[in-house]
Amino acid sequence: MARSARHAPLHAPLTLAVLAALGAIAPQAAAETTLNPVVVTGSRAEAESFDQPFSVDVVDLSEVQAGNLGVNASEALAGVPGLVVQNRQNYAQDLQISSRGFGARAAFGVRGIKLITDGIPASIPDGQGQAATFNLDTAERIEVLRGPFATTYGTSSGGVIQLFSRDGKGRPSVTGEVIGGAWDTTKIRLGAEGEASGVGYLLDASRFDTEGYREHSAATRDQAFAKLTLRPDEDSKLSLIASGLEQNETDDPLGLTWQTYEDDPDGVENVALQFNTRKSIHHRQGGMNYERRFGAGRLQLTAYAGERSVIQYLAIPTGPQNAPRHSGAVIDFDRSFHGVGARWIHTLAAGPGELTLTGGVDYDRSEDDRQGYQNFVGSTLGVKGALKRDEIDTITSVDPYVQANWKLDKWTLQAGLRHSRVEFEVDDKFIVAGNPDDSGKVTFRKTTPAIGVTYQLTEAVNVYATAARGYETPTLTEMSYSGTGPTDGFNFGLKPAQSRQIEVGTKAFVGENTRVNAALFQIRTEDEIVVQSNQGGRTVFQNASSTLRRGLELAVDTEFSRQWRGRLALTHMRAIYDDAFTSTSTTFSGTTTTVVDDGNRIPGIPATSAFGEIAWTPRQGITAALEALYRSKVEVNDTNSKRAAPAYTLFNLRLTARQESGPWKFSEMLRVDNLFDRKHVSSVIVGSSGDRFYEPGLPRSWYAGASATYRF
């Protein structure tokens, strides 16, 4: 059968027109360093972002964090095209981040996107990660990779978000900071950094408190960070890093039905209060990065280990929890994780050009000692009751990879190949009448190639094309249930999603003070992992037939004058189910069949996202900036039958000031979010039970703060 017009390939004339226009207006001039930063994400060796055959952006935290709270990664990533970063206003569930649609279905945390901090994974081997572990106060920059070359980082094929902390340098200094604002929000921070006897150090500790805009949304977050940087000799560098995160009894307001959102957006559904839904997190990790040069080659080694403990109380009715194979409604696990990575990078002359070869291997392992309990005792709700689950869940991945980058005059060729092996093992220790042994093991293997080419049209315009194959394993959470019925156990039959990705684009300098990036992309995915049903406290996943994502990204960064600077990030994407599929689930009360039609929009993905900012610096040390954020409507379920979250436009204002006096540095900030008090849904919970899809955003909110630094 012939495919309809919506399946037609990307329009080549549009691509050529964009490239030709940029080539015509861009002079033969080099751009300023700030518009052409050096990146390592993607190629794994330092290279200018302008020359890379893929979409990679650098967020300078020294600029972005001025005028922000430094609490959520959404503050830093709002201006990156291709990303949709939604602040749930729910610190029990973390941010919702999607990259070109990957990760949009995550009900909590981040999945489908590789998170890395200082070379250490912040995602476990199945692709689940927590952006809350990012420490923005100590970060120097964040690099964001999207598109085909993200597949060279393994199973999380939707993108890579990599944070790099500062090295301690120069004279020792100490910093104190206080921020306060709406919803009884406060943040207190103390830090010290510098260099002593050749050892760089960076120490930081902070406490964040908020009562939250919504009822039952209070949170306290304690973060600590330490980094030592040593140079044993002129050819080597060693970094030792430790960090911690504590959140005790964080309230979880859950999502709202549409009617509750309309009537009482700052409220909660009764079940959140009845079961006192909440979450406690204790996270500790440490690691090291070592690099040594050997002539034209470099050896890089990474090792890390850590522990994470979580206790979470869910709002699941007591009836389903009594079924023999139900896991209860209190999640309680202790996770230990560790890993090592080794990489060799070598540069040599090859014919008329320069060839950089990279080869390495990553080993990662995560083990959960996991229990589940009923969340009631007798008629008392929201307390830990009878044991319903007891198992050891282990995920192990071993990934060797090779990459090559060959620069030939006006051409740059880049290729990568990675072989991923991810093993899931469940050791079930809760074997009672009606609940048989669910122990088992499944292993996924996949080799994913990527190739890209860049051509220099002029000194100021590059064009590129990239293609890759990727895959995305199910997460342990997605494999937990094979159905919602009383006899359904672990779902070892859930298959990985497999993708084919292509991207074409251009990177151009317009004049000396403007950088423009434009990209067209297409992603076809087979066996997409989708929600089959969400009833009785069980979310069951299945493989859909195929999906199609096709879109455009545009980023503009310009300095109009010494006083004025502007940024624009635009993403437009059509994300649909490419073939119809059927979901059939057996529940505690019967069998339900749902048909998802060909052409339905994939839930959780807005068709259009845009961010704009204009900043004015009338004099050195003083900046005022106006931000604008637009999101089009978002579907909440696969059938597109429920009320979509409406489109919205928000404006934010920030003012910052800095002063120096002798050894002292002072800074002040004032920020107003949602300046015009627009009611909106900031994020959605895809396929949520009880139709609780909607998570309200903040009304007009203000924050003010000041910091002081003393340099010895």
Q: Are 272 and 253 in contact (CB under 8 A)?
A: yes
Which residues of the chain are modeled with pLDDT < 50? 1-33
Please tell me the predicted confidence (pLDDT) of residue 653: 97
Q: Are 140 and 166 in contact (CB under 8 A)?
A: yes
Beta strands 380-381 and 376-377: pairing type?
antiparallel
Chain-centre distance for alpha carbon 389: 30
Classify 476 as helix, strand or coil: coil
pTM metric for this prediction? 0.92
Beta strands 461-472 and 440-458: pairing type?
antiparallel
Cβ neighbours around 561 below 10 Å, total: 9
Beta strands 159-165 and 114-117: pairing type?
parallel
Classify 395 as helix, strand or coil: strand
Q: Are 279 and 308 in contact (CB under 8 A)?
A: no
Q: State pLDDT tens for residues 178-214.
A: 999 999 999 999 999 999 999 999 999 999 999 999 9
Please tell me the predicted confidence (pLDDT) of residue 26: 41
Q: What is the DSSP letter of 252?
A: -
Please tell me the predicted confidence (pLDDT) of residue 457: 96
Residue written as token pair 């609940």: 435
Chain-centre distance for alpha carbon 320: 33
Residue 456 tokens, joined: 């220099």
Residue written as token pair 């500062």: 166
Give me the CATH number covering residue 191.
Answer: 2.40.170.20
Query: What stretches of 483-642 adopt beta strand conformation (E)?
Result: 497-509, 514-526, 529-535, 538-543, 546-559, 564-577, 581-587, 590-596, 608-619, 622-631
- What domain range is 448 assigned to? 5-711
Beta strands 199-210 and 185-196: pairing type?
antiparallel
Please tell me the predicted confidence (pLDDT) of residue 484: 63
| Backbone torsions φ then ψ of 677, nearest 5 degrees | 60, 50
Please tell me the predicted confidence (pLDDT) of residue 591: 67
Cβ neighbours around 259 below 10 Å, total: 11
Classify 74 as helix, strand or coil: helix
Among residues 171, 188, 170, the alpha carbon closest in space to that of 179 is found at 188
Please tell me the predicted confidence (pLDDT) of residue 585: 61
Classify 137 as helix, strand or coil: helix
Among residues 60, 64, 108, the alpha carbon closest in space to that of 86 is found at 108
Question: Domain tally for the chain?
Answer: 1
Distance from C-alpha of 537 to C-alpha of 333, rounded to nearest angstrom: 18
Across the strands, what pairs with 681? Answer: 696
C-alpha distances (whole Å) from 543 to each of 141, 272, 525, 527, 540 are 37, 31, 11, 5, 11
SS3 helix, strand, coil % of the chain, rounded to 5?
Answer: 10, 60, 35
C-alpha distances (whole Å) from 297 to each of 51, 223, 294, 344, 348 are 21, 37, 5, 7, 9
Please tell me the predicted confidence (pLDDT) of residue 486: 61
Whole-number CA gyration radius for the chain: 25
Please tell me the predicted confidence (pLDDT) of residue 107: 72
C-alpha distances (whole Å) from 197 to each of 170, 227, 392, 502 are 11, 15, 46, 50
Q: Which amino acid is at 525?
A: T
H helices of 35-138, where?
61-64, 74-77
Q: Which distant-in-sequence residues (6+ apart) come within 8 Å of 151 by Cβ? A: 157, 416, 418, 448, 450, 468, 469, 470, 471, 499, 501
Distance from C-alpha of 213 to C-alpha of 679, rounded to nearest angstrom: 13
